[in-house]
Structure 1
Amino acid sequence: MTDPAAFPDPLAPYPLTLPDGSSHEETLFLRAALDHPNIEAGDYSYSTDFDTGTDLAHRLAPYLYPGAPERLVIGRFCAFAHGVRFITASAMHPMRGLSTYPFRIFAGLDIGAYRAEAGNHGDTVVGHDVWIGYEARVMPGVTIGSGAIVASGAVLSRDVPPYAVVAGNPARVVRMRHDPETVARLLALAWWDWPIGTILEALSAIEAGDLAALERFAPSRDDCDANGS
């Protein structure tokens, strides 16, 4: 399978078609389905979530409001299972003083100090080709490296290295998917930035874990830039 037309359009909200011809409405391409000024999602990243009754942006990042001081940035080819939640910085209560109670919100007072404190946590960033399992939680300001796997129910309060497998609460690195040399080569290769046609041509190498073969498919940087990466 090398024809890019055989792969779903990244701007199609429902990338999966069931045998009866209907769309699998629980699986959504994020870039097409998300309409939020503080969320950025790369091509082909998707979520499969059984709760379809509310807006996807609200399900994924329930505390992230338009104009918040932080963003949620998601790379390409990520996969999010049911119940994944990003607890972004605006969920945080004030912690610089003697109480964490948000008095200013209920009193209708200026909350500029709250916003500034939330902004200090920074953006939440998910790299490329990241798989996040069932009902995992990602806390404010965490960066998840490309190629990482997050186990079901994990609670991430720290950054995750590229190609690490993490699990638990708080999440810890269980193992690395590859040795350091292989990780460096994969990150340098950045196959997720390639045109989709090239990725499909290289699919057998990706599936076989044949890095040397995959490297032979690498397009020029100009080709990747032309692909919108």
Structure 2
Amino acid sequence: MAVPFLDADQRHPITLPDGTPYTNTVWLGSVIDHPNIEVGDFTYYNDFEPVTDYAARIAPYLHPGAPERLIIGKFCQFANGTRFITSSADHPKRWFTSYPFAVFDQALFPYFDEEFAKGADTVIGNDVWVGDGARIMPGVTLGDGVIVGAGAIVTRDVPSWSIVAGNPGRVVRRRFPDDVCDRLDRLAWWDRDLADIRALVPVLASADLAALDAALAERGL
């Protein structure tokens, strides 16, 4: 039986030329076991420092049992310093104070229950690349194929196939014309089986529209 070209069960998916694993990079799905975090296959994270708790590294404010979730798609690429600042990090903004008194005195929780129970999920699509040091703020959704520039602070939802950069993050442009984005949405290559994804690599690693159209036609799409 042929060995699949990608193995979702690996911890360190990159092997150096001398045969040793490159330990800075991990499949997140193989190293995170957290009730509030869902990670699709083949999504990787790279860090330049040793990490003992990857959930705490990428989502430091998300504790088990929090009202929000972090949902990450397949084949995402997260550079060193990527952080998801989830809703539990937020403080009341409509009150006269933003200070979370109930964290320090449980008798005050009745005043904070409703506010602390709020928590919009952070949702990351498939094939999303987040650059070095970027921050994704509470409740943000990034569509499929989004690229987030290094150091960006993303505070609003980003449509699929967009490039976002800056602080606050702003959409710079769509990566492709709308008709090409529609084709990529139909292909949804990340949902296909590994053998088909492997067969699609020559198309995916190109900007050949004719080849993309042929791949869609071959699959009845």
TM-score, normalization by structure 2:
0.92
Deviation at 1:97, TM superposition (A): 1.9
* Counterpart position of 1:135: 133
Q: Are the equivalent residues in 2 in contact too, given 1:28–1:46 (CA < 8 A)? A: yes
The one-letter code sitting in structure 1 at the alignment partner of 2:201 is L
Q: Are the equivalent residues in 1 in contact too, given 2:88–2:119 (CA < 8 A)? A: no
- Report the Cα distance in structure 1 between the residues aligned to 2:104 and 2:77, rounded to whole angstroms: 38
Deviations 1:66-98 (A, max 9, x none): 010000000000000000000000001122321
Give 1:218-229 correspondences, 5 Å limit.
218=219
Count of matched residue pairs? 218
Q: Are the equivalent residues in 1 in contact too, given 2:51–2:57 (CA < 8 A)? A: no
In the alignment, structure 1 residue 91 sits paired with structure 2 residue 79 = no
- Report the Cα distance in structure 2 between the residues aligned to 1:101 and 1:42, rounded to whole angstroms: 36
* Counterpart position of 1:215: 216
* Counterpart position of 2:73: 75
* Counterpart position of 1:100: 98
In the alignment, structure 1 residue 26 sits paired with structure 2 residue 24 = yes
Deviations 1:35-85 (A, max 9, x none): 111000001000011122331110100000001000000000000000000
The one-letter code sitting in structure 2 at the alignment partner of 1:176 is R
The one-letter code sitting in structure 2 at the alignment partner of 1:128 is N
Q: Are the equivalent residues in 1 in contact too, given 2:78–2:131 (CA < 8 A)? A: yes
Q: Percent identity?
A: 47
Deviations 1:11-39 (A, max 9, x none): 21111111222211110001111111100
For structure 2, the residue ranges without an aligned partner over 5 or more in a row are none
In the alignment, structure 1 residue 36 sits paired with structure 2 residue 34 = yes
* Counterpart position of 2:149: 151
The one-letter code sitting in structure 2 at the alignment partner of 1:136 is A
Deviation at 1:115, TM superposition (A): 5.7
Deviation at 1:218, TM superposition (A): 3.2
* Counterpart position of 1:126: 124
Deviation at 1:114, TM superposition (A): 4.2
Q: Are the equivalent residues in 1 in contact too, given 2:4–2:194 (CA < 8 A)? A: no
TM-score, normalization by structure 1:
0.89
Deviation at 1:158, TM superposition (A): 0.3
Q: Are the equivalent residues in 1 in contact too, given 2:25–2:45 (CA < 8 A)? A: yes
* Counterpart position of 1:14: 12
After TM superposition, the runs of 4+ consecutive aligned structure 1 residues lying more than 3 A away are: 110-116, 118-121, 216-220
- Report the Cα distance in structure 1 between the residues aligned to 2:3 and 2:128, rounded to whole angstroms: 24
Give 1:159-178 correspondences, 5 Å limit.
159-178=157-176
